[in-house]
């Protein structure tokens, strides 16, 4: 494979444009310069997406977006080249530092929406892999990216949806799009879905 | 089991029961036989109106005229039964060569109709649409298309959005106000061929009988971004 000076940025760029993960090397350290470039690229992507977002989209959070990009990148690295000790894993896949609000969830989703597929791939290789519980734990926190994926939804707190109209709209859209019956069990979500369906529940989602 | 017999010269009187598709007819010499009546048909006014007919009931292979206790005759054998629609074809009246009214013109109007159909399009004010669409769920917009007409928007598809506006029916690429149809609705296809032969337009009718032509290529998928980019 041809070499590139910015493997992280290129991987994220391909992920966002052609929705494929391409890894260029085994290096997991990312330069400060590359991080800045990636953050501004993700911000442009975010600006494009919010045109389609309902209501007023929350402000872009570069920290969260970058954290998500790095998590997806590291997860993909761990899937292909496993040369690390188990004790190092938590360093490669740190938890998100900071308070999680609508802006953080939506900004992180720009990359994090691809994580469930990587986890499925990891499970296919080795269902006992210790990376899986770490990543799934991330997804429980960033549950907007996990809709439709099999995770424990009992620990999910839906209160965050009521606080932000845009996130609520996006969340419900994704539940309907992926027909995530499990996520539609909560009373709050059920009520909101019914408001959206009006008389046409049978047209939009007859199985619910 | 009932049979009806009538002379061939009176066959036109059978016109009043020809639409009963269960009936079968057979020709025998000078007579026409009809069978397979339903119980409610044999006593109906349509039958009673037919003159020169004889109605028989078949018992033990003998024909008893209705009301009589003695049989009148046997059913002729070897009858060839065919459905009445085929046996008594309809012929159109001769062409009238003396008709000179061909210059007359019809004015195309729409008028109130009793029909019940589902609306296919919705004409809404920009402000009304803005209020709904900015927070609309994606799945409500996905099945819809739209086009901007002056300060309002025409939304096409099903199910339509729950907002105030005028609704329209779709027929032959005409959008008619709901509750209305063409006064000469049988000519709708012909009218479409006259106004919109290649079907590349949609024609929106107003209640005052005027219409607007909307090229189909200007109709776009409805989405929040499409709305925002159009009105920004």
For the segment A167-207, what is each residue's pLDDT rounded down to a tens digit? 999 999 999 999 888 888 888 888 889 888 888 888 888 88
Q: Number of Cβ pairs closer than 8 Å across A and B?
A: 39
In degrees rounded to 5, what are phi and psi of residue B6?
Answer: -150, 150
Q: Do A54 and B162 touch (CB under 8 A)?
A: no
Residue B60 and residue B46 in contact, taking contact as beta carbons nearer than 8 Å: no
- Taking 70 as the threshold, does the pLDDT of residue A28 lie above it? no
Is A158 in contact with A186 (CB distance < 8 Å)?
yes
Cβ-defined contact of A51 to B228 (cutoff 8 Å) = yes
Per-residue confidence (pLDDT) for residue A27, from 0 to 100: 67
Cβ contact B223–A52 (<8 Å): yes
The residue in chain B having the minimum alpha-carbon distance to the alpha carbon of residue A205 is: B139
| Integer Cα distance of B54 and B62 in angstroms | 14
Yes or no, beta carbons of B134 and A54 under 8 Å apart: yes
Spatial neighbors of B41 by CB under 8 A, at least 6 apart, are B17, B20, B47
- Residues 6 or more apart from A179 whose CB is under 8 A from it? A148, A205, A207
Q: Whole-angstrom Cα distance, residue A71 to residue A115?
A: 8
pLDDT tens digit sequence for A52-104: 999 889 999 999 999 999 999 989 988 888 777 777 777 788 888 888 889 99
Residue A1 pLDDT exceeds 60: no
pLDDT level of residue A2 (50, 70, 90 thresholds): low
Residue A127 CA to residue A196 CA, distance in Å, equals: 38
Q: Report CB contact under 8 Å: A196, B159.
A: no
Hey, where are the domains in chain A? 7-154
Is the pLDDT at A111 greater than 90, yes or no?
yes
Q: What is the pLDDT of residue B156?
A: 94
DSSP for residue B75? P
Say what the pLDDT of residue B121 is. Answer: 94
| Chain B residue with the nearest C-alpha to that of A165 | B135
The secondary structure of residue A96, as a DSSP letter, is P
Chain B residues in contact with A172 by the CB 8 A cut-off are 137
For residue A130, count other CB atoms closer than 10 A to its CB: 9
ipTM over 0.85: no
Binary contact (B137, A54; C-beta < 8 A): yes
Position B223 scores a pLDDT of 92
Instruction: Please report residues of A whose CB lies closer than 8 A to that of B159.
Output: 198-200, 203
Taking an 8 Å cut-off on Cβ atoms, the answer to whether B139 and A165 are in contact is no
> Are B139 and A204 inside 8 Å of each other by CB?
yes
User: Would you place residue A108 in the very low, low, confident or very high pLDDT band (cuts 50, 70, 90)?
Assistant: very high
Radius of gyration of chain A (CA): 18
Q: Report the C-alpha gap between A55 and A46 in whole angstroms.
A: 15
**Which residues of chain A are within 8 Å of residue B140 when distances are taken between CB atoms?**
196, 204
Mean pLDDT score of chain A, rounded to an integer?
Answer: 87
Q: Mean pLDDT over residues A96-114, rounded?
A: 91
Spatial neighbors of A60 by CB under 8 A, at least 6 apart, are: A42, A43, A46, A47, A103, A107
Contacts of B223 in chain A (CB under 8 A): 52
Residue A30: band (very low, low, confident or very high) from pLDDT cuts 50, 70, 90 = confident
Could you tell me the two tokens for A167?
A: 């996130």
Can you give the pTM of this predicted structure?
0.71
Confidence (pLDDT) at B202: 93
Residue A65, φ and ψ in degrees, nearest 5: -65, -40
Whether B134 and A55 lie within 8 Å, measured CB to CB: yes
Closest C-alpha among A107, A89, A93 to residue A138: A93
Q: Which residues of B touch A208 (CB under 8 A)?
A: none
Other CB atoms within 10 Å distance of the CB of residue B137? 20
- Nearest CA to CA, how far is A162 from chain B (Å)? 14
User: Going residue by residue through chain B (232 aa), what tens digit of pLDDT does each one get?
Assistant: 889 999 999 888 888 888 888 899 999 888 999 988 988 888 888 888 889 999 999 888 889 988 888 988 888 888 899 998 888 888 887 888 888 877 888 888 899 988 888 899 999 999 999 999 988 899 999 999 999 988 899 999 988 998 999 999 998 899 999 999 998 888 888 889 988 889 899 999 998 989 999 999 999 999 999 999 988 7
Domain boundaries, chain B: 2-87, 121-230
Q: Considering only CB atoms, which chain B residues are within 8 Å of A200?
A: 159
Q: Which uninterrupted H or E stretch holds B124?
A: strand B121-125
Contact between B50 and B60 under an 8 Å Cβ cutoff? The reply is no
Interface of B with A (CB under 8 A): 134-140, 159, 162, 223-225, 228-229
List CB contacts (< 8 A) between B119 and chain A: none
Exposure letters B22-41 (e unless 16+ CB within 10 A, then b): ebbbbeeeeebbbbbbeeee
Q: What is the mean pLDDT of residues A132-157?
A: 86
């Amino acid at each position: 494979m041809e070499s590139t000076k910015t493997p992280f940025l290129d991987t994220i760029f391909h992920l966002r444009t052609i929705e494929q993960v391409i890894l260029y090397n085994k290096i997991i350290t990312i330069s400060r310069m590359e991080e800045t470039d990636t953050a501004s690229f993700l911000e442009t992507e975010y600006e494009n997406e919010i045109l389609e977002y309902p209501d007023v989209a929350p402000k872009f959070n570069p920290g969260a977006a970058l954290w998500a990009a790095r998590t997806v990148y590291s997860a993909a690295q761990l899937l292909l080249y496993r040369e690390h000790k188990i004790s190092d894993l938590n360093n490669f896949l740190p938890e998100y530092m900071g308070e999680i609000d609508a802006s953080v969830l939506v900004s992180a989703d720009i990359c994090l929406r691809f994580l469930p597929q990587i986890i499925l791939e990891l499970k296919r290789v080795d269902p006992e892999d210790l990376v899986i519980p770490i990543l799934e734990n991330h997804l429980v926190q960033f549950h907007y990216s996990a809709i439709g994926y099999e995770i424990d939804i009992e620990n999910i707190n839906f209160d965050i949806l009521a606080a932000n109209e845009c996130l609520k709209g996006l969340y419900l859209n994704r539940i309907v799009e992926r027909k995530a019956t499990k996520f539609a069990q909560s009373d709050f979500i059920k009520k909101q879905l019914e408001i959206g369906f009006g008389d046409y529940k049978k047209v939009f989602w007859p199985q619910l | 089991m009932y049979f009806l017999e009538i002379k061939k010269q009176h066959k036109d009187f059978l016109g009043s029961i020809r639409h009963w598709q269960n009936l079968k007819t057979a020709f025998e010499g000078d007579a026409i036989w009809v069978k397979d009546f339903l119980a409610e048909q044999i006593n109906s006014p349509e039958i009673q109106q037919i003159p020169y007919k004889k109605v028989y009931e078949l018992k033990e292979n003998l024909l008893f005229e209705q009301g009589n206790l003695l049989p009148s005759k046997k059913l002729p054998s070897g009858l060839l039964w065919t459905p009445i629609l085929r046996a008594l074809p309809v012929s159109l009246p001769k062409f009238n060569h003396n008709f000179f009214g061909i210059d007359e013109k019809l004015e195309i109007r729409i008028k109130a109709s009793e029909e019940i159909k589902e609306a296919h399009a919705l004409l809404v004010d920009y402000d009304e649409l803005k209020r709904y669409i900015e927070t609309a769920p994606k799945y409500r917009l996905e099945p819809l298309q739209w086009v901007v007409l002056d300060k309002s928007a025409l939304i096409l598809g099903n199910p339509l959005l729950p907002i105030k506006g005028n609704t329209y029916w779709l027929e032959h690429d005409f959008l008619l106000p709901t509750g209305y149809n063409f006064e000469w609705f049988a000519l709708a296809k012909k009218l479409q061929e006259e106004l919109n032969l290649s079907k590349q337009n949609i024609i929106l009718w107003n209640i005052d009988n005027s219409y607007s032509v909307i090229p189909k290529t200007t109709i776009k998928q409805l989405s929040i971004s499409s709305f925002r980019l159009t009105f920004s």
